[in-house]
Amino acid sequence: MEKSRQYVLKLVPILILALVMTAVLPACSFISNRQPGPARPLVITTLFPQYDFIRQIAGDKVEFRLLIPPGVEPHAYEPTPRDLADIRRADLFVYTGDAMEPWVKQLLEADPDGGMQVVDASRGIELWDGEESGEQETEDHGIEEPDAHEHDSHTLDPHIWLDPVLAQTIVDNITDGLAAADPANSLYYRAQALEYKKKLQELHQRFEYALQNTQTRTLLFGGHFVFGYFARRYGLDYETPYFGFSPNAEPAPQAIAQLIQTMESHGLDTIFYEELVQPRVAQVIAQQTGANMLLLHGAHNLSKAELDAGVTYLDIMEQNLINLKLGLGSRD
């Protein structure tokens, strides 16, 4: 509690500066669909999946912006005064949840009368404890339900968007926010969301079928494992040498040795790696074992090249499906 109070006090001068910058700064060069013409509701999101879901649901009915620049790893991100100024100008602000963006809770507490609609995309979704999942990974490579007691938000796994079923709940939450911020177009948003959820359900069904027909169900990941909800959904076992989700975490040599041992004892030939981070651990394991390296994209954010190519959430997940079928040995 004391730590939270100190954070709020720290945030107050930043908010004051943000108020000033709202008046004196030009519009920020976010990833945006801004176009000349009549003003549209401004929607700001923190991560790429939300940005893309809004793009699919709202189209040109709103101006939507992605807060984090392309190529930036988002876990350690904290907003700048300019970010805060632009968030205050938004009609709708969508964030993943306190587990992913803990700074948002303090922001809202420090500025309760901001006047914008706010959507916690994780609303209605039970989050799992990241520390307990990490302990389980090193013991039997499964995923356990968290205990019923309350957890600190920093230990909860925020990566709900990688489960296509949970992604549908995120779409519902975003759609409610859009309808509240722009009632005149609420029927349009709900119709578009319904069509997009059909695509997410079809994606889920393709994963479900494909991952029931693989030679192995053990997924070896040489990065900070963010696919806990995904692995749970499709009954995959996994192992990673990392503990937790911090991009600054470093794996212990014993954990890397254990992963290599698992690979050799199970006759596995593929190590998966994450996006936007230099895959040093996966490279070491591949050099030691001769394993193939395949990307498993966590969809937090896009590189500049991906953004310019118009990559979507569905594109990312379809490529993940292709790589999983290759790496786990599809029987199709």
Instruction: Clarify whether residues 218 and 187 are in a common domain.
Output: no
Round to whole Å and give the CA distance between 193 and 209.
24
User: Does the reported pTM lie above 0.75?
Assistant: yes
| pLDDT averaged per 10 residues, the chain (length 332) | 46 44 42 59 96 97 93 80 88 94 84 79 91 43 37 74 98 98 97 98 97 93 90 92 73 90 92 90 93 96 92 98 96 76
Same domain, 181 and 216: no
Q: What's the angle, vertex CA 110, arms to CA 68 and CA 118, rounded to 5?
A: 55
pLDDT at 64: 92
Considering the domain architecture, whether residues 116 and 228 belong to the same structural domain is answered as no
State which residues form the domain around 315.
204-328
Residue 252 confidence (pLDDT): 83
State whether 59 and 164 are in the same domain: yes
The reply to whether 171 and 253 lie within a common domain is no
Does residue 137 form part of some domain?
no
pLDDT for the residue numbered 221 = 93
Per-residue model confidence (pLDDT) at position 15: 43
Closest CA to 77 of 101, 95, 96, 104: 101
Specify whether 272 is located in the same domain as 184.
no
Identify the pLDDT of residue 1.
47
Q: Are residues 218 and 177 in the same domain?
A: no
pLDDT value at residue 34? 54
Cα 93 to Cα 178: distance, rounded to the nearest angstrom? 10
Domain boundary among 200, 230, 255: 200
* 133 lies in some domain: no
Q: Which long-range contacts link 199-208 to residues 24+ away (Cβ below 8 Å)? A: 199/314, 200/164, 200/165, 200/167, 200/168, 200/171, 201/164, 201/165, 201/168, 203/164, 203/314, 203/317, 203/318, 203/321, 204/164, 204/165, 204/233, 206/321, 207/164, 207/233, 207/234, 207/317, 207/321, 208/234
**Judgement on whether residues 265 and 181 belong to the same structural domain of the protein:** no
Work out how many domains the chain is built from and give that number: 2
For residues 182 and 230, membership in a common domain is answered with: no
Would you say residue 128 lies in a domain? no
- Give the distance between the most distant pair of CA atoms in the chain: 63
In whole angstroms, what is the distance from residue 162 CA to residue 71 CA? 19
Same domain, 278 and 312: yes
pLDDT (0 to 100) of residue 154: 59
Closest Cα partner for 22 from 105, 84, 65, 92? 84
- CATH code of the domain covering residue 93: 3.40.50.1980
At 112 the pLDDT is 66
State the pLDDT at residue 246.
Answer: 64
Indicate whether 140 belongs to any domain: no
